Each structure stands twice: as C-alpha cells, then as structure tokens.
Amino acid sequence: MSAPKFSVTRNPAPASPQRRADVLAAPGFGRYMTDHMVTVRWTAGTGWHDPAVVPYGPMTLDPSSMVLHYGQEIFEGLKAYRQPDGSIASFRPDANAARFAGSARRLAMAELPEDLFLASLSELLAVDSEWVPEAGGEDSLYLRPFMIATEVGLGVRPSSEYLYSVIASPAGPYFSGGVKPMDVWLETEYTRAALGGTGTAKCGGNYAASLLPQSVGAQHGCAQVAYLDAEERQWIDEMGSNNLFFVFRSDDGSVEVATPDLRGSVLAGITRDSLITVAKDLGISVVERRISGQEWLGGAASGVLTEVFGCGTAAVITPIGTVKHSGGEVTVGNGEPGPVTLQLREALTAIQRGAAPDPHGWMHTLVPASASV
Ligand SMILES: *Cc1c(COP(=O)(O)O)cnc(C)c1O
C-alpha cells in the first residue's frame, strides 16, 4: 500500500526567523515546538484517513475520550539530523515504526503502517525543515510521534477511533561542556515492568508509574532510576527511559561488555541494538545475559566492573558514576566516563551526524538536500 496523500495547511503565524534563531541557539530539550504538526485519524471500518500537516496548536478532546480514562496512549522518540550535504536524515526510523506498531498491538490499538509512519515524518519536515539545526554537532530536531484513543464513552474496551500525531522539538547537545557521568538510584521497592505486562511497549502509562520512584531517586541526588525484575527482585532490567550496559575487565586485561537480555520486561531500545552492532564493528563483543544488582554493586566495589552506561535516543550514551541504593552507594571505576563508553558514543554519534560511513544503512533521508533549507 502506498501512503495516502497528506493535506498541508501552513501556519499563518509561524515563528519569525529571529525567534527561531533564538530558540535554536539554546533549545534545551522538549521546551519549544515547531510551527506545524501531523495528524492522522483512524476509524473502525474506514481505517486510516485524513492525513494532514496543520499548524501546531491545541487539540480539542471530548472529556469522555477513552485515552483520558483508560490510558490507551503510545509514543515514539527519534531525531532528525542535518547532514553535511544539507539533507535531513533520521536514524533507523523504520525500527521506530515497527516498535510503534508493536506498542499499538500490546495496547489493542490500531497499527499504523510503516510507510505512513515514515511519510508522516517526511511531510512534517518538508514544512518545518528550517527547524533542523545545522550539521556538524549533536543538535537535532527531536520527533515525537504518538497516538491516543479518541472514541467518546466510558465503556472499557479498545477504542474504535484513534488520533495519531507527530510534533517536533529542537534539541541541543545533551551534554554541553563534555560528557558527564550521572548518579543512578538502584530501586528495590518499586518495579517498572513485569513479565506479561506492558514493559516492552512504549506507552505513557509506564512513564506515569516511573515518576514516583524517579522522585525518590532525585531525593538521593540521582538523575535516573535502575529497576530490578519484578519476580525475583534480583536482575537488572533497565532504567526508566534508558537501557544499560556494563563493562567488565578481568585480571588478564580481557574486556566483557554485557547488557541485560531482552526478557519480557525490557524495552527493546534502538540505541541498545545499534550499540551491540557498533561494538562488534569495533571488535568488541557484547553478551546479552542476566546481570544481577549484586553483580553491579560487588563488581564496582571489587573493581572488575569498570564502566556502566545508559543508552537511549535522547542522550545516546550517558555514563554512570555512582550507584546508590537503600543500603549505601558505590562508585564505578574512578567515577569518570570510561574508554569503552566514550569510544562507542563517538562511533554512533559520528554515523548519526553523517561524519562516518554508514555500513548498515541506518540513516534514512527524510528531506533531500534539494528540497531543504
Ligand atoms: C524509549 C526507551 C528506551 C530507549 O530506546 P531508544 O530506542 O534507544 O531510544 C529505553 N527504555 C525505555 C523504557 C524506553 O521507553
């Protein structure tokens, strides 16, 4: 099926060039939105219809729209990068499209076809291309596709109507002034996801449930929370929005890079998957296995665990310095970003900004150089 044609309604009052330049000079993350957004509707019996690029602005929702009561909401997050030739590309958006469909399946929502997902990004960027920062750095335009249940009524069942939308927000480099490690709270009371639950879907409900433990971690000075499995409270799953990697160095100097295997309670990060491949390209093998909280604490204490980092689209790789928990805290290595962490981060970000070859065909052009400003 070829994607249906989008109607385009230009924003009659877009940001002035000066305003846009001011925003792009210091965008932060998620604070400013571009001039337009995408909307596509789904209705049972009709399927997907009325794909449109419209001015960014408030949406009207009936108070009994199902999403407001039973939480059928899913989302994605990916970045568009200006390439050295002026084109705009994103990183593995087909993988985001596939994951979005998988999240929809788990929440009994309508599945958006992959070509419509990709077209929605290109259509938005064709109109908002001036919001994509210059090439060469880590600045990007963050894209947020999401979908909500819009059927009106309080009956508990899958909605018969959905609204898919994409909004976009310029993002500055995650680390301004060098990659800095963060402290992480190892949570032993609350869990993120149970086998058979929604942990493998990217849904707002998972994030709602993570906010209380997140604030507990923040009270201990931690930027993120690492979760243990819900059954045995022993095995590291991941953090609230990042997967985890561990670097072990044995006495003979050999290095093992490990990441928790994708048991049914871990979100399959595209950064995680890409790093496993990038590491292999660099001659570093990554094993996917169970890693216990005890192995983290004990390994950091004994020194065999030399690096730990989180990974996800927003920061790509974030080194972890100290892990804190209800019984104390321990610092990994010397608390500074380690060599494997930095090497992997540089290798992946170089592909994304178009500064290194793309041997796996991960970069997907959304707007060709000729059509972009
Ligand atoms: C989005 C997300 C990640 C990271 O996924 P990427 O595709 O690498 O951005 C990791 N864990 C959770 C829970 C997430 O929601």
What's the structural domain count of the chain? 2
In a domain, 204, yes or no: yes
CATH number at 205 reads 3.20.10.10
Does 252 lie in the same domain as 161? no
Does 157 lie in the same domain as 31? yes
Cβ of 285: how many Cβ atoms within 10 Å? 12
State the residue range of the domain holding 311: 182-336
The model's confidence at residue 176, banded by pLDDT at 50, 70 and 90, is confident
Nearest CA to ligand 1 atom 10: 242
- Measured CA to CA, the distance from residue 199 to residue 269 in angstroms comes to 12
Mean pLDDT along residues 317-342: 96
Angle, CA of 330, 336 and 338, to the nearest 5°: 105
- Position 372 scores a pLDDT of 72
- Position 178 scores a pLDDT of 81
Does 150 lie in the same domain as 186? no
Does 169 lie in the same domain as 268? no
Does 139 lie in the same domain as 119? yes
Q: Where are the beta strands (DSSP E) in 24-132?
A: 36-43, 47-55, 73-75, 78-82, 88-91
Q: Which residues pair with 49 in a beta bridge?
A: 41
Verify whether ligand 1 is closer than 6 Å to residue 238 (CB atom): yes
In a domain, 341, yes or no: no
Does 125 lie in the same domain as 39? yes
The residue count of the chain comes to 373
Does 120 lie in the same domain as 240? no
- The rounded Å distance from CA 14 to ligand 1 centre is 32
The model's confidence at residue 9, banded by pLDDT at 50, 70 and 90, is very high
Verify whether ligand 1 is closer than 6 Å to residue 267 (CB atom): yes
Verify whether ligand 1 is closer than 6 Å to residue 315 (CB atom): no
pTM for the model stands at: 0.97
Does 190 lie in the same domain as 165? no
Which residue in 100, 82, 103, 104 sits closest to 91, CA to CA?
82
CATH number at 60 reads 3.30.470.10
Ligand 1 test: best mutation among 79, 92, 202, most atoms within 8 Å of CB? 202
Nearest CA to ligand 1 atom 15: 241
In a domain, 139, yes or no: yes
Cβ of 28: how many Cβ atoms within 10 Å? 12
In a domain, 232, yes or no: yes
- The rounded Å distance from CA 66 to ligand 1 centre is 25
Confidence check: pLDDT of 271 > 80:
yes
- The rounded Å distance from CA 242 to ligand 1 centre is 5
Per residue, what are the HEC states of the chain?
CCCCCCEECCCCCCCCHHHHHHHHHCCCCCCCCCCEEEEEEEECCCEEEEEEEEECCCCCCCCCECHHHHCCEEECCEEEEECCCCCEEEECHHHHHHHHHHHHHHCCCCCCCHHHHHHHHHHHHHHHHHHCCCCCCCCEEEEEEEEEECCECCCCCCCCEEEEEEEEEEECCCCCCCCCCEEEEEECCCCCCCCCCCCCCCEHHHHHHHHHHHHHHHHCCCCEEEEECCCCCCEEEEECCCEEEEEEECCCCCEEEEEECCCCCCCCCHHHHHHHHHHHHCCCCEEEECCEHHHHHHHHHHCCEEEEEEEECCCEEEEEEEEEECCEEEECCCCCCCHHHHHHHHHHHHHHCCCCCCCCCCEEEEECHHHCC
In a domain, 119, yes or no: yes
Mean pLDDT along residues 235-243: 97
In a domain, 342, yes or no: no
For 43-99, what is each residue's pLDDT tens digit?
999 999 999 999 999 999 999 999 999 999 999 999 999 999 999 999 999 999 999
For 250-264, what is each residue's pLDDT tens digit?
888 889 999 999 989
For 143-173, what is each residue's pLDDT tens digit?
999 999 999 999 999 999 999 999 999 999 8
Verify whether ligand 1 is closer than 6 Å to residue 90 (CB atom): no
Q: Looking at this protein, which amino acid is placed at residue 335?
A: G
Residue 45 falls in which region: left (phi positive, over 0), alpha (psi -120 to 50) or beta: left
In a domain, 33, yes or no: yes
Does 61 lie in the same domain as 85? yes
Through-space distance between the first and last CA atoms of the chain, rounded to whole angstroms: 30
- Measured CA to CA, the distance from residue 151 to residue 362 in angstroms comes to 37
Does 115 lie in the same domain as 187? no
In a domain, 118, yes or no: yes
Does 288 lie in the same domain as 209? yes
Mean pLDDT along residues 191-213: 97
- Position 245 scores a pLDDT of 98
- Position 371 scores a pLDDT of 79
Does 262 lie in the same domain as 168? no
**Which SS3 state, helix, strand or coil, does residue 165 take?**
strand
Q: Looking at this protein, which amino acid is placed at residue 334?
A: N
